[in-house]
């Protein structure tokens, strides 16, 4: 009887350990995802508030608000695309002349990528059978 109690206790401890380690990994993943999206949010805020970008301020502000209030608890393939699009936008906004002509297309790409990200996050949280 004593051995049975010890076996049950060991199984309970192992189950608790597995459950808590999964929870800790989930918490760590969530925090790293939030840090990544917050970094994108800061970059977009800096672009939006730059006086040199006044002609694009309305669209950039709308995109910033969309990102600011988006779900930050998940990560998708679109998040890595956001990084490269923001880099392209930063480069294009810092140049004068012809390269500024591509800015509207980069802004459009940023909008569509954010929309795809929203869809991917919502689909990942739906669950399934």
In tens, the pLDDT along 11-36 reads 888 887 777 777 656 566 666 678 88
Model's pTM, two decimal places?
Answer: 0.73
In tens, the pLDDT along 89-124 reads 999 988 776 677 899 999 999 999 999 999 988 888
CA–CA gap between residue 85 and residue 40 (Å, rounded): 10
Cβ-contact 85, 61 below 8 angstroms:
no
- Alpha helices for 50-102 (secondary structure H): 57-68, 77-94
Q: What is the pLDDT averaged over residues 46-72?
A: 92
């Amino acid at each position: 009887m004593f051995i049975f109690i010890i076996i049950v206790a060991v199984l309970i401890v192992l189950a608790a350990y597995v459950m808590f380690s999964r929870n800790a990994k989930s918490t760590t993943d969530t925090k790293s995802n939030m840090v990544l999206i917050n970094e994108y949010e800061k970059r977009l805020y800096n672009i939006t508030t730059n006086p040199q970008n006044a002609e694009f301020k309305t669209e950039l502000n709308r995109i910033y608000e969309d990102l600011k209030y988006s779900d930050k608890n998940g990560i998708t393939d679109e998040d890595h695309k956001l990084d490269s699009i923001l880099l392209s936008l930063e480069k294009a906004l810092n140049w004068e002349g012809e390269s500024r002509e591509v800015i509207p297309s980069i802004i459009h790409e940023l909008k569509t990528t954010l929309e795809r990200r929203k869809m991917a996050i919502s689909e990942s949280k739906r669950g399934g059978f």
